[in-house]
Amino acid sequence: MTLFETSRFVVRSLADADFPNIFRLMSDPETMRYIRVPITAEEDLRSRFALWNTYTEKCPGLGVFVADRKDTGAFIGYCVARHVEFDPIGQEFEIGYTFAPEVWGNGYASELVPPLCQYCFEITSTTRIVAFTNPENAASQRVLLKSGFRLVGTREVYDSTNNEFWVERNAV
């Protein structure tokens, strides 16, 4: 199911057929450098997929989504609009994204973040969204700040050993 489109890609619901592409990104040390330790065992990602699917069943419209190029249909990455740490009790929502290295530097993140935020605001009725990035990931920080987020500080999330660069954006 298509959630939204930009001029160059379509964001759609995650499907089981996306497993190989997601595994390729999540097992790649370069792609995961600023996110988390790469997942190198397929069973671990299958468990994560199950968590994602269960979460989406409980929280329709939220979860992990796939970005495909409009012109070729090729997978270019995935993104999230969800409760922080998949915890619906917390009522704090976040967006995030991971693109394939072969498409880095093409402005896809800058094209994705504003409509992803709008989607999250609409589906949740929240007035505030957060995003986290490694303090060393200057490129993602620039994308978020350019997209209307503001720096709040740092905080530890996702059992991280590093504090995360924490930004938030209010609904307009």
The domains of the chain are located at 2-126
Position 170 pLDDT exceeds 90:
no
Q: Quote the CA–CA distance of 136 and 33 in Å, as a whole number.
A: 10
Q: How confident is the model at residue 160 (pLDDT cuts 50, 70, 90)?
A: low
- What integer pLDDT is reported at residue 156 of this predicted model? 73
**Across the chain, how many H-helices and E-strands are there?**
5, 8
- What integer pLDDT is reported at residue 134 of this predicted model? 87
- Of 58, 122, 68, which is closest to residue 95 (Cα–Cα)? 122
- What integer pLDDT is reported at residue 153 of this predicted model? 80
- What integer pLDDT is reported at residue 165 of this predicted model? 66
Q: Which CATH number fits domain 2-126: 3.40.630.30, 3.30.70.100, 2.40.320.10, 3.40.50.1370?
A: 3.40.630.30
Q: How confident is the model at residue 2 (pLDDT cuts 50, 70, 90)?
A: very high
- Of 79, 75, 33, which is closest to residue 52 (Cα–Cα)? 79
What are 60-110's pLDDT values in tens digits? 999 999 999 999 999 999 999 999 989 898 889 999 999 999 999 999 999
The answer to whether 163 and 135 have CB atoms below 8 angstroms apart is yes
Residue 93: strand, helix, or coil: strand
Average pLDDT of every residue of the chain? 92
Q: How confident is the model at residue 12 (pLDDT cuts 50, 70, 90)?
A: very high
Q: How confident is the model at residue 133 (pLDDT cuts 50, 70, 90)?
A: confident
Radius of gyration, CA atoms only, the chain = 15
Exposure on the CB side of residue 94, measured as CA atoms within 13 A: 18
Neighbours of 41 (CB within 10 A): 10
